[in-house]
């Protein structure tokens, strides 16, 4: 009997199963009730006790080999779950995409408007030091204007912070370049604000700077009027109100006439019809001195506005948080608008 078992072991080792039909034939021959293994186990029962130990070990080896052979073939024939299967007969079903983010589009429009009158883009770091974010802008330590900009400091270091405005870009640009200077600086800024429908700890600004000889407030008004008419339409009415900023003198707030045609207009403009849109002013001579520009020879102006505020007005968006939630349903609404 041992010779017979050894022959079957040798046969199985030499068998090559290459398709399901051959696998089925192998199973029928060796592993069914009428197969070789069952017949051998029936014969095994008739053996004398002295032969059973050695023959039984050999028979178990044959059994393990037969089942292992079939299991290997079945595993190889199963589809690989990790392999991507593409059925080219299925109809196409492309994932829908959103649109350009409204903040990005409005920023792009503003940049293009100002590029037409000679402004170039200047960008800088978002993690700043105290000098470029405050002190060089005429806000020394303990200046009350610092309290208006609740600041994120890095690792409680009073000298390293997340910039609170893009005016810091202007300081760095003036340190590296001599007049004439005509730049705009768009970018993200950070302040410790409670997040609500009207405020966020992250928002976007775009600020402009122009420095040359004999620059006057009339030049500033001309640029602002050109910009607002290009953005809101030629019929927009503007007004300048005296204000205060530490780095400009004189300073002004700029309003546009929004109108009082609806309940929303009354709410947005607080019943006046006028809406504050941006701040501006002539560069304070102290700021020019801080960046080694001759304040007796050169003068200039600066202006800045929040991109979220402009976008909310242009598209009648009443909740600032929508800009930061990455909701595809919100973004898709601007596909036609852009």
pLDDT tens digits, one per residue of 193-236: 888 888 889 999 999 999 999 999 999 999 999 999 999 999 99
Instruction: State the DSSP code for 286.
Output: H
Cβ–Cβ < 8 Å for 287, 74: no
Residues of the chain with pLDDT > 70: what percent?
Answer: 91
Question: Whole-number mean pLDDT of the chain?
Answer: 87
- Indicate whether 121 pLDDT > 60: yes
Give the per-residue pLDDT at 77.
62
Calpha distance 78→113 (Å, rounded): 62
Give the per-residue pLDDT at 69.
78
CB atoms closer than 10 angstroms to residue 143: 14
Q: How sure is the predictor about 145, in pLDDT bands with cuts at 50, 70 and 90?
A: low
Beta carbons within 8 Å of 49's beta carbon, 6+ residues apart:
none
Q: What is the mean pLDDT of residues 276-302?
A: 96
**Six token digits for residue 90:** 């299925």
Q: How sure is the predictor about 250, in pLDDT bands with cuts at 50, 70 and 90?
A: very high
Give the per-residue pLDDT at 70.
76
End-to-end CA distance of the chain: 86
- Indicate whether 105 pLDDT > 80: yes
- HSE on the CB side for 276, CA within 13 Å? 12
Give tens-digit pLDDT for 42-84. Answer: 877 777 877 777 877 877 887 888 788 777 766 666 655 566 6
Q: What is the pTM of this model?
A: 0.68
CB atoms closer than 10 angstroms to residue 113: 17
Q: Please tell me which residue, 257 or 157, carries the higher pLDDT value.
A: 257
Q: What is the mean pLDDT of residues 285-307?
A: 96
Calpha distance 28→26 (Å, rounded): 6
Assign 215 to helix, strand or coil. Answer: coil
**Six token digits for residue 280:** 């501006």
Give the per-residue pLDDT at 148.
63
Give the per-residue pLDDT at 179.
95
Calpha distance 73→64 (Å, rounded): 14
Give the per-residue pLDDT at 254.
95
Q: How sure is the predictor about 93, in pLDDT bands with cuts at 50, 70 and 90?
A: low
Cβ–Cβ < 8 Å for 41, 34: no
Q: How sure is the predictor about 8, in pLDDT bands with cuts at 50, 70 and 90?
A: confident
Lowest mean pLDDT among 59-63, 88-92, 109-113: 88-92
- Indicate whether 295 pLDDT > 90: yes
How many residues can be counted in the chain? 338
Give the per-residue pLDDT at 87.
72
Q: Please tell me which residue, 163 or 58, carries the higher pLDDT value.
A: 163
Calpha distance 331→102 (Å, rounded): 8
**Given strand 157-162, what is the order of strands in its sheet?**
127-129, 157-162, 153-154
């Amino acid at each position: 009997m041992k010779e017979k078992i050894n022959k079957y072991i040798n046969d199985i080792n030499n068998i090559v199963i290459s398709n399901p039909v051959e696998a089925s034939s192998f199973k029928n021959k060796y592993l069914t009730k009428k197969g070789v293994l069952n017949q051998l186990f029936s014969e095994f029962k008739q053996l004398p006790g002295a032969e059973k130990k050695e023959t039984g070990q050999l028979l178990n080896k044959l059994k393990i080999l037969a089942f292992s052979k079939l299991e290997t073939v079945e595993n190889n024939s199963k589809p690989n779950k990790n392999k991507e299967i593409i059925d080219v007969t299925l109809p196409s079903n492309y994932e829908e995409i959103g649109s350009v983010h409204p903040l990005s589009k409005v920023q792009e429009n503003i940049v293009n408007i100002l590029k037409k009158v000679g402004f170039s883009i200047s960008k800088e770091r978002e993690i700043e030091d105290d000098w470029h974010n405050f002190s060089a802008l005429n806000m020394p330590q303990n200046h009350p204007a610092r309290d208006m900009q609740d600041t994120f400091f890095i690792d409680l270091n009073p000298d390293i912070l997340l910039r609170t405005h893009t005016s810091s870009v202007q300081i760095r640009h003036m340190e590296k370049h001599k007049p004439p200077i005509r730049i705009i600086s768009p970018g993200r800024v950070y302040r410790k604000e409670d997040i609500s429908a009207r405020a966020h700890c992250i928002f976007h600004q775009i600020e402009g700077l122009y420095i040359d000889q004999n620059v006057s407030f009339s030049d500033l008004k001309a640029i602002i009027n050109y910009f607002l008419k290009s953005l809101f339409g030629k019929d927009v009415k503007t007004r300048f109100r005296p204000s205060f900023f530490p780095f400009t003198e004189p300073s002004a707030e700029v309003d546009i006439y929004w109108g009082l045609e609806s309940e929303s207009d009354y709410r947005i403009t607080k019943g006046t019809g006028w809406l504050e849109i941006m701040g501006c002013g002539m560069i304070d001579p102290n700021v020019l001195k801080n960046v080694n520009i001759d304040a007796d020879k050169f003068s200039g102006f600066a202006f800045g506005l929040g991109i979220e505020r402009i976008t909310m007005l242009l598209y009648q968006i009443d909740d600032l948080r929508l800009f930061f939630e990455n909701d595809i349903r919100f973004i898709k609404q601007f596909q036609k608008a852009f």
